[in-house]
Chain A
């Protein structure tokens, strides 16, 4: 670099067109990469080969087929293509499907709706804390304990003194039967699971099969129950197969679906 200026002024061969010193320098030291480059040649004139045309034709055919599947391409009134939604939906073509989920989550979700719809929240409060008209459900041994007793409280109502979480309650009139308000084994199962698994409560899932047995159990008996009767006759778990919390169930029917195919 430093001797660049001196060599470019030095012309040892004045009669020549080429300044050899300069050319030599250009070739050797300062710009080696630019010096060893080859020149770009003019383009070759090979024709477009037949097989390229042939393959292109096939590609164009496939592209045309893709475009053809668009159907009514410029009909702006109908922008959602018919048949694009899933056809193998169990509810029929075009129906959206909610995928299955874990049992505990879906039971609690369904039970929360029943809890609100059957007016449980009116006395027991949305937080399950109870209040002026009802004992608490949160932390209640009746809620988390034997499922048969819990089911009979809901189906028949309860009257008289009752001890909940170490405190005695006795409300005038007690709790009325909620059988009509709950409506059916599925809702009963969801409601009981919700009560057993909310506000810090922890308990097993009450399956639909168990809820059906609870309805059987309630037949042939009328009037409110009492705490003594519940302790004496119903201090058992409802019959039926256990439902593990992560079993996949259908969100509509709450029935277990087949195990995933691996």
Chain B
């Protein structure tokens, strides 16, 4: 980047800041309320996990029974945090990429409040014992239609922005954004119909719910995370995406495979057999888009390792992408037929869910938040130490959860296959892994409490007023040009 800004650069900066300004309220609202739901979801996850190996934990409070708290945990994590973080990312990325200011931020903000209200009602209903009992669709049936309507109120404007974009190149991130935007109402609408509205066989309703659960990640959260990664990696490094062809290949692989996955959860159940087997095959093949995306993003930042370590957004995004490759490898190994038989009813599936929701999606979302928030609030992050804690606690805790769940799940599966032993022996053997998961949730709670606090301070516009980004490894703690806030190194720093 040249040191003296040209006319187009000035116009660019003005356009960027006007887009950021137009979206600051809804974006900050989604991120901030999402982070509160994240803390809540993790707290519920800690309780739910503890109850799996220590059933007497908090057993005097009936509204956090094991079954309820588990459903509330996943719902808060996915709909409270996941969807809201995704909304913030989608509306900001789409506005930036179509170079259009958002004209409907008021409606989006109102819809955002509605979304939070509905999720709150839903969680309270689950805890009151009135939930539907369907995995990840545990809110009662009347909640779902209103969620779909509010979803359309939030995202319609991004579709409009894409429709009226200036003619020209459609960027990789936009493919993923558009795909996620259109897939989510499709899977949610189908799931509402088959699970709650249609008079079909209840077993097929369970199968459709399993398909929806897999679709929420593969067809909505994952595309949003990948859109953000494809945006941030070239943006922060200033290099083009390594290969357009690989990006195309990875996108269409995901688009082709994602909708098939999910039914493998009902392997062995009396439903038409092509469903679970096609689901298992699709989950095995997810390794292909994971490798393609991983290769593309990692090659893009290959020569910029120092930058990836310094910039919070790039560091989180890179970790999310590496975890996506690991997700692909685990999905490849754990969805072969013998492995499914072994691990179908164990911790293993939970481990993969958490790897997907927290490891892949959330780390990419944190990367996006660390990038977007300074732009929309016009303040810099307060503390690089907070960000470092958030990063390392998140990474190690999610790694512990996934390792414990997968190893413990395999041991559990072996125990269940051993017919000469009662159920209790199997539960005893895997309970130490349950302890590991619970402790890891506690660390994750600390990490995200710090993150939530940091984000809320930024929301209150208490961030640093400075032209220096908050970097994680600052080799020059004191600038040679005096205190921070001077325009000494415009263009030579990145965030």
Contact = CB atoms under 8 A, between A and B. Distances in A.
Interface of A: 17-18, 22-24, 26-49, 52, 55-56, 59-60, 62-67, 69-76, 79-81, 84, 86, 88-90, 97, 99-101, 248, 257-258, 260
B238 to A, nearest CB: 4
A52 B423 contact: no
Chain B contact-residue range equals 35 or more
Nearest to A88: B419
Contacts of B10: 18, 22-23, 26
B236 interface: yes
B277 interface: yes
B239 to A, nearest CB: 7
A130 to B, nearest CB: 36
Given A26-B17, A59-B288, 4 more contacts: A36-B469, A36-B491, A40-B231, A56-B291
7 contacts: A23-B5, A33-B374, A33-B495, A37-B16, A75-B273, A80-B270, A100-B421
A63 B17 contact: no
A34 B277 contact: no
Given A37-B16, A37-B235, A38-B236, A63 B273 contact: no
A73 B277 contact: yes
Interface stretch (B123-131, B214-222, B245-253): B245-253
Given A34-B375, A52-B295, A67-B281, A44 B244 contact: yes
Contact of A86 (B281, B335, B417, B491): B417
Contacts of B388: none
Given A17-B7, A70-B274, A81-B273, A42 B169 contact: yes
Given A47-B243, A47-B245, A56-B288, A34 B274 contact: no
Contacts of B425: 260
A79 B14 CA distance: 62
B268 interface: yes
A22 to B, nearest CB: 8
B5 A27 contact: yes
Nearest to A24: B487
A81 B494 contact: no
B494 A38 contact: yes
A175 B100 CA distance: 96
A210 B295 CA distance: 71
B1 interface: yes
Contacts of A40: 171, 231, 234-235
A69 B279 CA distance: 13
B287 interface: yes
Interface string B79-100: 0000000000000000000000
A22 B9 CA distance: 13
B243 A84 contact: no
B403 to A, nearest CB: 22
B337 interface: yes
A51 to B, nearest CB: 9
Given A41-B238, A43-B241, A73-B274, A248 B7 contact: no
B477 interface: no
Contact of A48 (B245, B300, B336): B245
B285 A46 contact: no
Interface string B483-495: 0000100110111
A42 B273 CA distance: 45
B151 to A, nearest CB: 28
A43 B297 CA distance: 12
A118 to B, nearest CB: 29
Nearest to B96: A40
Given A27-B487, A34-B17, A76-B272, A42 B469 contact: no
Given A27-B13, A38-B494, A56-B288, A66 B277 contact: yes
B480 interface: no
Contacts of A72: 273
A84 B17 CA distance: 60
A99 B270 contact: no
Contacts of B273: 70-75, 79, 81
Nearest to B419: A97
A66 B280 contact: yes
A69 B244 CA distance: 36
Interface in B443-495: 465-469, 487, 490-491, 493-495
Contacts of A38: 1, 235-238, 494
A190 B426 CA distance: 27
Nearest to A250: B420
Contacts of A75: 273
B278 interface: yes
Contact of B490 (A36, A48, A69, A70): A36
A60 B285 contact: yes
